[in-house]
């Protein structure tokens, strides 16, 4: 057990937990998807939302996003391996997402909530968008500001963001809403920064996907510390509707990731020790990238409802 893994498991034990019911319809937990003590992941029998219960108590969830989250030795279990080092892969991935966005909004003033190291905003800046970002993790904000030279990055929660209300053409949440204890409140708040009829773009994992069904509890998106909800196309529609957005398009094409062979080797650890030894034979090509789309994530494009 590495120091990092030990630290994370101690942290699992140290954080207060709480039991929750379905966020969208209030139903009690029904079918069990994952039993990963002290956590369990359930699928709501009524609306199909996946949710972790018990989970880390809502007021302590932010405690898990520190420097360790973005550069973790145990990335197969938690966070991302060498987030900043894998820049090439992130830029390629976000070029695909920028293509999706550009089909609806070819230029404009955009706000990314949870912009992390700023790769997506950098891609959009190069394409001529006016880019702004909000991020709670201070360590990664430094990368966005200093390495990528992004000027308009706010360090703090959206609740404290001083940007001008009603001035943005789009707000974006990339792999963010599944982490938020109350995503409807955050989406409603983000909507106040939009012009009337402005766009929302988000990506999240699809718990109804064949990949999740095939992999069962070993699905890579089951990260019990951080993923408190697991949406699907239908529950994402319901979520956005409650935050006063109308879904225009839900795509799986282009929702994959360009990942390094090194990252794949790291991830294989989750599945089998033997496979991991075989995968390590590919270590000399660790810095090469492949596009992988397991069809288990969705990119949602939606418009703010004009009240």
Which residues of this protein are in contact with Zn ion, per CB under 5 A?
22, 24-25, 27, 44, 46-47, 49
Nearer to Zn ion, 19 or 99 (CB): 19
Minimal distance in Å, beta carbon 46 to Zn ion?
5
Residue 198's Cβ-side half-sphere holds a number of Cα atoms within 13 Å equal to 23
Minimal distance in Å, beta carbon 26 to Zn ion?
7
Nearer to Zn ion, 3 or 31 (CB): 31
Question: Token pair of 295, please?
Answer: 């069809």
Please say whether the beta carbons of 74 and 12 come within 8 A: no
Nearer to Zn ion, 24 or 140 (CB): 24
DSSP H/E element including 203: strand 194-205
Question: Token pair of 284, please?
Answer: 């000399």
Nearer to Zn ion, 28 or 210 (CB): 28
Question: Token pair of 9, please?
Answer: 């498991």
Please say whether the beta carbons of 41 and 34 come within 8 A: yes
Minimal distance in Å, beta carbon 35 to Zn ion?
20
Q: Do β-strands 109-113 and 130-135 pair in parallel, antiparallel, or remain unpaired?
A: parallel
d(CA 133, CA 159): 13
Nearer to Zn ion, 47 or 87 (CB): 47
Minimal distance in Å, beta carbon 145 to Zn ion?
40
Minimal distance in Å, beta carbon 44 to Zn ion?
3
The SS3 of residue 204 is: strand
Question: Token pair of 138, please?
Answer: 């201070």
Query: What DSSP assignment string belongs to 270-289?
Result: TT-HHHHHHHGGGGGGTT-E
Minimal distance in Å, beta carbon 243 to Zn ion?
16
Q: Which distant-in-sequence residues (6+ apart) come within 8 Å of 16 by Cβ? A: 56, 57, 60
Nearer to Zn ion, 49 or 141 (CB): 49
């Amino acid at each position: 057990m590495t120091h990092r893994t030990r630290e994370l498991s101690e942290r699992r034990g140290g954080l207060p937990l709480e039991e929750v019911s379905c966020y969208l319809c209030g139903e009690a937990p029904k079918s069990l998807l994952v039993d990963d003590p002290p956590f369990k992941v359930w699928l709501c029998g009524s609306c199909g939302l996946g949710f972790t219960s018990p989970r880390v108590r809502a007021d302590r969830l932010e405690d898990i996003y520190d420097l360790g989250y973005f550069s973790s030795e145990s990335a197969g279990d938690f966070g991302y391996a060498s987030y900043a080092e894998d820049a090439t892969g992130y830029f390629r991935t976000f070029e695909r997402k920028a293509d999706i966005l550009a089909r609806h909004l070819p230029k404009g003033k955009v706000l990314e909530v949870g912009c992390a190291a700023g790769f997506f905003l950098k891609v959009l800046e190069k394409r001529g968008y006016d880019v702004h970002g909000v991020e709670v993790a201070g360590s990664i904000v430094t990368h966005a500001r200093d390495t990528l030279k992004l000027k308009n990055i706010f360090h703090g929660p959206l609740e404290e963001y001083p940007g001008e209300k009603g001035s943005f053409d789009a707000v974006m949440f990339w792999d963010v809403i599944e982490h938020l204890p109350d995503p409807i409140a955050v989406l409603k708040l983000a909507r106040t920064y939009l012009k009337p009829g402005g766009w929302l773009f988000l990506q999240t994992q699809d718990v109804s996907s064949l990949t999740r069904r095939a992999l069962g509890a070993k699905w890579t998106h089951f990260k019990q510390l951080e993923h408190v909800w697991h949406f699907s196309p239908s529950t994402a529609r319901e979520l956005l509707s409650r935050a006063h957005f109308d879904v225009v398009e839900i795509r799986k094409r282009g929702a994959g990731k360009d990942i390094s062979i090194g990252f794949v080797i790291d991830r294989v650890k989750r599945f089998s020790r033997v496979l991991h030894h075989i995968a390590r034979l590919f270590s000399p090509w660790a810095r090469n990238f492949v596009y992988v789309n397991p069809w288990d994530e969705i990119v949602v494009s939606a418009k703010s409802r004009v009240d």
